[in-house]
Structure 1
Amino acid sequence: MSDIDRREKQGKKILKGRRPPLPSGVTDDEIVRYLQDLAVRLGKETVTTRDVQRDARISPATIHRRFGGFSELLVKAGLRPMRIYKRNRTAMLQELASLMAGLGRIPSKTEVRKNLSHTFRSFEIEFGSLSKACELAKFEQSERKEGDGSPTSEAVVSLTRTKGRRRYGAAIDFRGLRHAPINELGVVLLFGMLAEELGFVVESVQDGFPDCDAKLRRGDGTFEGVRIEFEFRSSEFNRHGHDLNACDLIVCWQHDWPDCPLDVITLSDKIEELRHGKIHA
């Protein structure tokens, strides 16, 4: 048994004797002290969101609302964050987009190593895979071009040629869907195609928040209600100012929200799992 497994087993034993939830009027300082105490009880240098969820004394949503994220709370408590996102994601995507434009295709691992300041592994850590980073780089590059009002002849020609024409996502050829989603509506459509295989029964889809009322099939054959919000990117949930306590799950095409306090289903990952037989109807 590895040291990690041993600590995990010890943590589970300690957490069996759970203490009562923190009171509703708990202060930020009391939350910080609680996290420090939890680390001591677990015998760990730091704690994870899973540790907090198992201890069941405070919700990740409350932590996010009070401190802006779990990593921020760890820093205040003097604990080591498991992962701090210090890379400039915009700069990474711009650099990648320039390389793609020069090559006319997605670069190889070797081409990334030779031409970019960020490593291949950095793109995997930040975006899940290089292909996802390339898709995001292309999308954001097109958004920048459309929003650029500089009076160059290239911009005028580009705007004239594309006015009124539809835009399409990357080709995915998944069942009857030729292109990847490029907006929230595409995410809704794709989720409808996959809902049954993912274990969901959809009760209703509506305007307003949250978008969908569904039930998730559990292993014992029962169902639990799930409130779902659809977003093209998971971070748009936060940008739209939605209430964390009024939603259970984000369904998106791109998951780009570090320390997201809600469960997230990333449909781009799910269709790859289906293609490789990791999900069965």
Structure 2
Amino acid sequence: MPDKKQILNSLVAIAKQLGRAPSRAEFTSRSGISAFFVLRWFRSWSEAVRAAGLRPYTRNAKVEDRALLEDWGNTVRKNRGLLPRHIYRRKAKYNPCTLANRFGGWTSVPEAFRNFAKGKRKWADVVALLPGPQARVAVKKKERGRPDGGAVPRTPASKRQHAPLKDRPVCGNPSHFRGLGHEPVNEQGVVLLFGMLAKDLGYAIEAVQTGFPDCEALRQIAPGRWQRVRIEFEYESKSFYQHGHPLNGCDVIVCWRHNWEGCPKHIEVVELSSVISLWPAQETKSGPKNSAALSKTRL
């Protein structure tokens, strides 16, 4: 485990290379020291940077909601419509995970923008490209609880959630994908789903283990050409960082949800929820017609 002096010396050395204090992601990728170990010696990343005699890199400052929504609106305007998350990541200034975390999910961003743009003429053309707000069903008081089989009001979402029972497992949302009855809710579900998809995505699994990394596989890089890769399974990609895994020991993170904003560029992330969303409904049993396109998609 790196000690305090080693961390500070690495910070200073990388700062000399960059001409400024490194961001947390830059430090971990260049030094090979996980941020997990930094936080064992310092209360925060900024404290570690200051202890090294450096000024924290301002790029890590929290971005205002206004800046996030303006960039989202400009991206929608430029592309004449909404973009899937994995494409937005390449087109926009900010990571889509930041918007999803800030506004309650990626699918909630259009409504957040609609509220932001209300009364602002400069955004009228963008609002026109958005899907209409969800229709609300009004229910008359006299129709509520009618015992004669009359109209039944919609139950508010908050009332549809029930207390969990302690003596049985919890399932994810219903899924109609091949033999998977429900979406994954943990890392084991991710492992199972990847096993179902590995061949379609151009992977041949060689070994699965309890230590790090979880899996070793061969990946097809060209007709007749394969290459070995190291894979770590996580339910959410940010768990890789939270678990303190070394950044130089993994090539691919396979997860259900990609929410690690500071994920180093040299680590590929395969977000399985996005992968299966690309499968045409009529082909869920046999796989997509163009599986190569999926295996090449960086999600």
Alignment TM-score, normalising by the size of structure 1: 0.51
1:30 aligns with 2:30: no
1:280 aligns with 2:291: yes
Describe the superposition over 1:84-138 as per-residue Cα deviations: whole angstroms up to 9, x where unpaired.
5677x99x879859xxxxxxxx9794488559xxxxxxxxxxxxxxxxxxxxxxx
Q: Relative to 1, partners in 2 of residues 1:246 and 1:78: Cα closer, same or farther, differing over 3 Å?
A: closer
Q: Which residue of 1 aligns with 2:200?
A: 197
SS in 2 for 1:218: strand
Q: What RMSD over aligned residues (CA atoms) do the two structures have, in Å? A: 4.7
Which structure's residues are more often helix, by fraction? 1
What are the within-5 Å matches in structure 2 for residues 45-194 of structure 1?
60=29, 62=31, 65=34, 81=59, 96=104, 109-110=110-111, 113=114, 158=163, 162-194=165-197
Q: Percent identity?
A: 36
Query: Structure 1: where are the runs of 5+ without partners?
Result: 1-24, 38-45, 53-57, 98-105, 116-140, 146-153
SS in 1 for 2:255: strand
What is the letter of the counterpart of residue 34 of structure 1? Answer: Q
What is the letter of the counterpart of residue 240 of structure 2? Answer: F
Larger Rg: 2
Q: Could you tell me how far 1:185 is from its partner in structure 2?
A: 0.9
1:214 aligns with 2:178: no
What is the letter of the counterpart of residue 272 of structure 1? Answer: S
Q: Could you tell me how far 1:226 is from its partner in structure 2?
A: 0.9
Aligned residue-pair number:
189
2:273 pairs, out of 262, 268, 272, with 268
Q: Could you tell me how far 1:278 is from its partner in structure 2?
A: 8.9
Which moved further from structure 2: 183-192 or 198-207?
198-207
Q: Could you tell me how far 1:274 is from its partner in structure 2?
A: 2.9
For 1:64 and 1:81, the matched residues in 2 are separated by: 21
What is the letter of the counterpart of residue 242 of structure 1? Answer: H
Q: Could you tell me how far 1:186 is from its partner in structure 2?
A: 0.6
What is the letter of the counterpart of residue 17 of structure 2? Answer: Y
Describe the superposition over 1:132-182 as per-residue Cα deviations: whole angstroms up to 9, x where unpaired.
xxxxxxxxx9xxx9xxxxxxxx9xxx35xx121331111231111121100
SS in 2 for 1:274: coil
What is the letter of the counterpart of residue 262 of structure 2? Answer: D
For 1:236 and 1:107, the matched residues in 2 are separated by: 23
Q: Relative to 1, partners in 2 of residues 1:174 and 1:64: Cα closer, same or farther, differing over 3 Å?
A: farther
SS in 2 for 1:189: helix
For 2:278 and 2:257, the matched residues in 1 are separated by: 15
Q: Which residue of 2 aligns with 1:135?
A: none
Tell me if the contact between 1:197 and 1:279 (Cα under 8 Å) persists in the aligned partners.
Answer: no
